[in-house]
Structures are given as C-alpha cells and as structure tokens.
Amino acid sequence: MLQRFSSRRERLDHAFLRERLRGATSYKRIAGYFRSSIFELVGEEIADIGQVQILCNSELDADDVVVSKHVRETALQARWNEVPSEIEALLHRERYRRLYELLSNGNVEIRVVPQDQVFIHGKAGVITRADGSKTSFIGSANETRRAFAHNYELLWEDESPEAVAWVEEEFEALWANAYSLPDAIIQEINRVANRVEIRFEQVKARDLPAAALAESPIYRGGEQLQPWQRSFVTMFLEHRETYGKARLLLADEVGVGKTLSLAASAMLAALLDDGPVLILCPSTLTRQWQVELTDKLGIPSAVWSSSRKAWLDPKEHVIKTRGAEDVANCPFRIAIVSTGLLFHQSAECEYLLRRKYGTVVLDEAHRARRRGGMGADGSQANNLLRFMLQIGPRTRHLLLGTATPMQTEVSELWDLLEILNNGADFVLGRPPVSRWGNWQEALPVVKGDVNPTTGRDAWEWIRTPLPPGRENSLFAQLRWDLNVPDKEFFSATGYGSLEYMTQQALGDALLPGFLREHNPLLRHIVLRRRQTLEEAGLLQRVGVVVHPEPNAPVTAYLGVSFDGLGLLTNHPFDLAYQAAEEFTKELQKRTSAAGFLKSLLLQRICSSFAAGRLTAERMLQREQVGEEDDPDSPATEATLGTLTPAEAQHLHTIVNELSRPEARDPKLNAVRYFLTSHRTDGKTWLEHGCIVFSQYYDTATYIGSELAKLLPNEPIGVYAGAGKSGIFRGGDFAAVEREDIKGAVKERTIRLVVATDAACEGLNLQTLGTLINVDLPWNPSRLEQRLGRIKRFGQARNTVDMLNLVYHGSQDEQVYRVLSQRMRNRYDIFGGLPDTIEDDWIENIEKLDERMNEYMHLRQSARDVFELRYQSTVDPEAERWERCAQVLARRDVVDRLSAPW
C-alpha cells in the first residue's frame, strides 16, 4: 500500500513518524543529516526500539579515512564540536542526556559516510513493527526536529515487500562502508549534558588542567594533550604542591611535543596567580611559541621585538612602549623573549633581572653552557647560562626544555641542574654540603655503578636534598624521626647524632640500585624516548628509508649522478668551492671572525649554487650575512667593510663561476627526478606528497621557482619566515600567510612544499609522505625536526622516504658520511645527537667520528636511568581532561591571562 504525506497538510512527526515508531522493534534510517533534536519529537518511541541504526553524512575526506582511525575520529570530533558547547548545554541539556543514554545503552548506533565516497542526499528508512511486518519510506526529510516539525517536506510510504527490500539493500550497502561514531563524541555528548561553568575560586589546583583545557582549541579540534604531555603537566602541579615551586628539565626526544607540555604548565601557573610568565627561546621560535599558545591553548601572549623595542600581540599588532625598559612590563601575563638578547647582553637583560616572576621557561636550554663548548676545557659560563643562574632566585617555577641536555660532556647536564637549583636547593641540595653537585662523584651513583657502603655514606647522599616522604618509606621514616617539616629538604643533623633506629633504617639505602632509583636527576629531569612511546602504542611507529642507499645498484637512481652519498658536481662549482676555502684562509690572517664566516660561506655554497652566489654577492656589497635561522648571530658588516683585494677577488670568483650557463646545479635535477620519476610503493614522490627542506631562504625560493617552471600546473608552497611565504604556479607567485599553506596541505590542494628550517617548528604535514633535504645543517637534531613534520600521528604510510643531498667532495659529504650509518641503522638516535657539530670537529673527520661515538656512549648511559623511571608512568587513560564537565568559561581564562605584568 502506497501512502503520500506532505507537511503542508499535516505535521509529519504526528501523522507518520511517531505513529510508525510506536512499538517498533527495528529502525533503519538513511538520514543525510542527523541532529539530536529528533529526540524532542520521538525520544520515547526511539528509546523503546531494540535496534536503531542511523546513517548520515560527515565532513570526512576519503583520504582521511584511509590514513588512520586517529585522523578519522579527530575529523569527526572537530566537526561535532563546531557547535558551541556552552550554548548546547544551556538550551538542550535534556536532549543530550537522552542521546547519551541511548548511545551508551547500545540500542542506537550512528554511522557516518565519508563525503568523497558518497554524499547522502536521498533519505529513506525501514521500520520493523512488533508483529514482524515492515514498512519503508522515502522523502526529503533529514533526521532532525526542524525537518519533521517545521520544514516543508514530502514523504512516501510503501509497505510492499519489493519496496522494503529495495530500501534495505540501499541501506546495507551504505552501512557496510560507513564508520561508527567515535567513543570520544559519545563522551562529549555526556560532558555537554552535564556541563557546568565554575569560577576560579571553586577550582582546586589538581582539577585546574581539566577545567581550563576541556574547551580549549586543541580539544575542540578533536585533538588532545598526549598521555606523556598530560603526565608532565600533572608532575608540574605535583612539584608545585610538594616543594612550593617547580624546577623541572624536560628532555623528551625531538618530535615528542615538549613545547605544548611546557606551555600548558606555564598557562596553569599563570591561572593559579603564581605570577608573570617569561618564556625564553631562540628568536626563530618566538612566533611559533605564540602561535602554539593561541592555536592550541586559546590564550593570549606577547612577543618582544628587539628591533622595534615593542611588544607584538597574537595578531602581530605592535603595542608601543617607552623603550627597552618596557621589556619588564608585558601587556599580557605571558611574555616571549628571544634568548639572542641575553647572548648579546642587550639593554633588556638588566630590566628583566630587576623583577620577579611566577614562571620562567627556557626552550633550547642546551644553549646555556660553558664558553669552551663541546670537548673543550673552557669553564666560563656563556651569557645565557650566567643570566639563567641569576634569574633562578627571582622566579618561583623554572622549566627547562631541550632534547639534548648533554652535547658531549656530562658536566653540561649538571650546569642545567645548577640553574634549577639556584634559589631552590631541593634540586641538587645545599652547596657545599651536598655531594650531588659534583658530577664526577655523583654520576657513578646515578648510574648504579657505585653504591654507598656505610650508613654514614648513605646519609651524606640523602640528607641534602632530603627527598619528600611520599617518594619512599625510608624518607618518610627519616622525616618522622628527625621532625623535618614537609616543605623542608635539608637536615643539619650529622650521622653521629642520629638515633640508633634511624641509623639502622639507612641500611635500605645500601641496597644495590637504591640511589639509582632515588636521586635528584630522576626527580627533576623528565625524558621520554620516541621508541619507548612507540613500543607502548602511544605513538605511531613510522619507518624511514634513507636515500641514496650506498649499496644500491647502478639502476636504482637513473638520471642522477651519485658517487657514493654525494652528487657529482661540475667544474664551475669546484672552482667556486675552492675560492671559498681560499677566501677564509685570507680572512684568517686578519680577523677572529674568519671561523664564523667560513662556516657560513661553505654551508651556503653546499646548500645550492644560488645560495652560494647570492651570499658572495652580499659579502662584496658589505651587507650583513648572519645566519638566517638565527637573526641574533654576530654582525659581519665591520669585517666585510674592510675586505682586502685578495679576499674580494676570491668572492668575485665565486660569483663569476656560479653565474656561468654551464653551472647547472645537480641538486635541482635530483629533486626533479625523485618527484617525477622515482617510485616507491607504486607512486612517485610527488604523488605521495613531498616537503623539500633547506636551511636558507635563497635555496628554498630557487628550488621553488625552478620546480614551478618544470611543473607548471603544480601549485608549490614556499613555507618560510614571516612575510616570505607564498605559492608558485607556473610563472606566477602569490604571497600568502603560512597558515594558508598549512591549510591547503591539510586539504590536499597542495602536495609539494619547499620550507626553511626557520619556519619548520610546529609545521604538521602528515598528509605528505616523502621528504627531501636539499642541504644538511651541521645541526643534526634539525634533521629529526624536519622528519618530524611528516613522521607523526596520521601519517598514511608505514614507512616514509627521505632523500639527503650533498655535493661530492664537500665538507657536507664528510659530515654526512659519519652520520649516515648511524642514521640508517637506528634512526631514532638522531633525537640524541649533538645539536651542533662544531667547526673544529670538521677539520679532522676521524675526530668527528670519535666525538660522535663519545657523545652517544655518554647519552645512552644516562638515558637508561630515565627509561627505568618513566616508561611505566605514562597512562593513556589517566587525566582524561576532555571529559571534564565542570569547566571555566573561555572568557574568564582569556581575561585572567590578558592582565599585564
């Protein structure tokens, strides 16, 4: 029997839907769009149905679906969260409660179909009655309150077996290729159903992360702080409670997400009114820190512009000041300042040291070190280390972040611990009494190679710093026996004055490995390795195939002239390279700046012919040619302003030779070949999507513009520093913001990006499956940072490809030859290589190999200790802040952090 219904004649929910669903046992629905408002009309009827299956559209791309469950569910949750939860909770609380009850009871299941697979426009359904008979319907109505109660809709019902079978067949075909609503959305429905806004005074410190972060941009976007990040934030609050202040060194390996861990901790300290927050980082990372705070946490901050002597808000608007003195008067609670100011002892240093802080964060903390550098005997603190030692007593909390706390000397780790201990002697203890401050004496104890042999010896290790009682029952007993308050971490009592039973209790500390598991380093240093997180299933394991493969057959890279690891060059390049070396030899005769300029010139020539030529031209024009990824590098105008005729002639040779028509750069040919001809997993690298990295903007723009000529129909993004980004297409170039390029890559409208290191931090391009390093920085951890742009959550490929390009016979090739075998055998160790390979290492390649072996041995011996401590502390089900229903209003959070210092 065929029946026709029109909402012009009667309400469809009364005349059809409610009547048909009453007493039904099954309901299959192709809905197009589903909204919880439907339960306002037929909630009771649906609740009584044994099985309800609703199929609807989503914003999922087909590519997201095949990538991973994580990406698919993140996209769905982000789409669901587009509706403001504060409005939904206020207006539709009961509807959400009903929906959560139905979804959690299991009688209602909702699935979504990827939009690229099919867009559901037709709506239909099948209802099974209590007696087993069925009816089907087709119409224009979605499964929403508006569709059935307010819109003009048409609906035809057909009870014939043929019609029912036809609709069921359509339903089952779509249902089989759809995806279930993620559990995270179901939990979000429950959270909104119970959502209540609370005030700051109602929140305890331990509950603040959930209340402040549950509705932050990162969580509303379907992402979250990862378990190890939540663990660090929780540890920060625990240290704040235990010690009254937090002193922590976060040494997680590159790519694990230290910035967000540190940023969230600093935010919470500011919300707890602990005082102003000062974030110190290299100038190349100041903007990235600000973007992270804004985009992930949704909070304001200001970056100090050293050139303008002014503050920049999150939209890069200039906030005028009186001058350098206003670096100590930030217009927001969180300030971001370049460590370059501290290195060069700018006027701002004095003003920063005049005030007190709630929290100081130092990113890239390994830069605070002794002047002697790696492997040298120099013991004088550099300007950054000296500044940090001075600021320690002036701040309540102090957080250090670095993936490489040791370069080659273990003493460098103790320098960082000394920073933490200054003004907080619960870290290493009170000097000169504490034995932990002497790294030569303490390291064997930390490693477990040496154990105390007497109770007196054990007491000298334990009494300063006296550990918190909660760490071990021995420490709790010692505190009880000596009546040491919880907030004190020193005992002046000598061993001979201890009671007999207290002395006996110290026998526990003589057990092998006791101090290995209970020492200041483990309390105040947090280190999680990527490999450990992968093995625990917390991070996606992505393999890396490194090209060129030294033992590959001749036919492996047809059209590219490799000699081992290096590209064969041509005569003009060889002459230019020789002239660069001669230039630095001449320069060494008259200035100490020769070493810096030598590294700069040779690295740029090794980057690309274009970068080498342009650098030599700028030198001839007496322009500043400091490191472009470090705007605070030494000024060179004075040195270049007095070029001798011999020096100038060498520079002219570089320009002339690299300007010849036959000076064709083999790196461009190699990039073209790998993008368009070389195949892995049946696809070219361009089809996989590729990011091409260079240290230098000159190289990046050269590669981008030349590729645009070779691939005229391919949009090519250039992702560089502020005001330098854009898109090439054929002969055209359009300047765009970096965020536009990131969005286009995410949407897969751009699959080829050329980027500089200065811009790479925070660039998440897991939709790209290959990477080309046009040059190799003498800063190996940068390679891991580059790879981290694609080797992350949501990467579609189980193994990504990486091409490293160096010129045969160059210093780059010598460095790469030493590093490549380690990189190939165990890539994850790159997170632990020295951040910078010093010039004097390069002079002797055997020395470089020796230094690298020494460094990795030292780091591994120390790292094993931290594995023991932290491999079991990261619980993915702990601190599920996204489920928090008692939340702070976003307006209140922003207002509190918008207060000036």
Name the band, by pLDDT with cuts 50, 70 and 90, for residue 866.
low
| 3-state class (DSSP) for residue 626 | coil
Long-range CB contacts (within 8 A, 24+) of 879-882: 879/209, 879/210, 879/227, 879/230, 879/231, 879/233, 879/234, 881/209, 881/210, 881/213, 881/214, 881/219, 881/224, 881/225, 881/230, 882/184, 882/187, 882/188, 882/191, 882/213, 882/214, 882/219, 882/224
CA angle (885, 888, 891) in 5-degree steps: 135
H or E element in which residue 799 lies: strand 799-804
When pLDDT is cut at 50, 70 and 90, the band that residue 216 belongs to is very high
More confident of the two residues 839 and 43: 43
Decide: helix, strand or coil at residue 439. helix
369 token code pair: 């070190």
SS3 per-residue string spanning 310-359: EEECCCCCEECCCCHHHHHCCCCCEEEEECHHHHCCCHHHHHHCCCCEEE
- Cβ neighbours for 149, distance < 8 A, ≥ 6 positions apart: 11, 12, 13, 41
Q: What is the pLDDT of residue 819?
A: 63
Classified as helix, coil or strand, 417 is: helix
Whether the CB-CB separation of 24 and 130 falls below 8 Å is answered with yes
The Cα angle at residue 465 between residues 486 and 444, in degrees rounded to 5: 145
Answer whether the bond into residue 465 is a cis peptide, omega within 30°.
yes
Task: Report the range of poorest mean pLDDT among 144-148, 615-619, 815-819, 832-836.
Answer: 832-836
Q: pLDDT tens digits for 104-113? A: 888 888 888 8
> Does residue 636 surpass a pLDDT of 90?
no
For 398: left if phi > 0, alpha if psi spans -120 to 50, otherwise beta; the answer is: beta
Model pLDDT for residues 470-514, shown as the tens digit of each residue: 999 999 999 999 999 999 999 999 999 999 999 999 999 999 989
pLDDT tens track for 34-86 = 666 666 667 778 888 999 998 887 654 444 444 455 666 776 677 777 777 88
The residue with tokens 């020492």 is 519
Percent of the chain with pLDDT over 70: 82
Q: Read off the pLDDT of residues 537-559 as tens digits, 9 standing for 90 and up.
A: 787 777 788 888 877 887 888 88
Residue type for 333, please?
A: R
How far from 162 is each of 122, 140, 166, 167, 168, CA to CA, in Å? 18, 21, 6, 9, 10
pLDDT tops 70 at residue 756: yes
What proportion of the chain, given as a percentage, has pLDDT over 90?
Answer: 46
Cα–Cα distance measured from residue 809 to residue 802, given in angstroms and rounded to the nearest whole number: 21
Q: Of 177-191, 573-587, 820-834, which range is least confident?
A: 820-834
User: What count of Cα atoms within 13 Å lies in the side-chain half-sphere of residue 221?
Assistant: 11
Closest CA to 421 of 524, 344, 279: 524
Cβ atoms of residues 434 and 466 within 8 Å: no
* Cβ neighbours around 410 below 10 Å, total: 17
Residue 581: pLDDT band with limits 50, 70, 90 = confident
Angle subtended by helix axes 811-825 and 845-870, to nearest 10: 30
Torsion angles phi and psi, residue 249, rounded to 5:
-110, 115
Tokens at 578, concatenated: 């020789």
Q: What local confidence, expressed as pLDDT, does residue 845 receive?
A: 46
- Identify the CA nearest to 712 among candidates 730, 727, 728: 730
Helix, strand, coil percentages in the chain from 3-state DSSP, rounded to 5: 50, 15, 35
Tokens representing 289 are 């820190």
Collapsing DSSP states into helix, strand and coil, what is residue 202? helix
Which segments within 534-626 are labelled E, that is strand?
543-547, 562-563, 566-567
Residue 624 to residue 712: CA distance in whole angstroms:
35
The pLDDT tens digits of the residues spanning 282-307 come to 887 888 799 889 989 999 999 999 88
The tokens describing 260, both together, are 């967000």
**816: closest CA among 531, 548, 544, 542?**
548
pLDDT 10s digits, 359-416: 999 998 988 988 764 444 457 889 999 999 999 999 999 999 987 776 557 788 899 9
Domains of the chain by start residue, with CATH: 2-191 (3.30.870.10), 197-369+378-405+887-900 (3.40.50.10810), 433-519 (no CATH), 543-563+664-833 (3.40.50.300), 571-659 (no CATH)
Task: Note the pLDDT of residue 829.
Answer: 27
DSSP E strand boundaries for 188-266: 196-198, 247-250
Query: End-to-end alpha-carbon separation of the chain, Å?
Result: 76
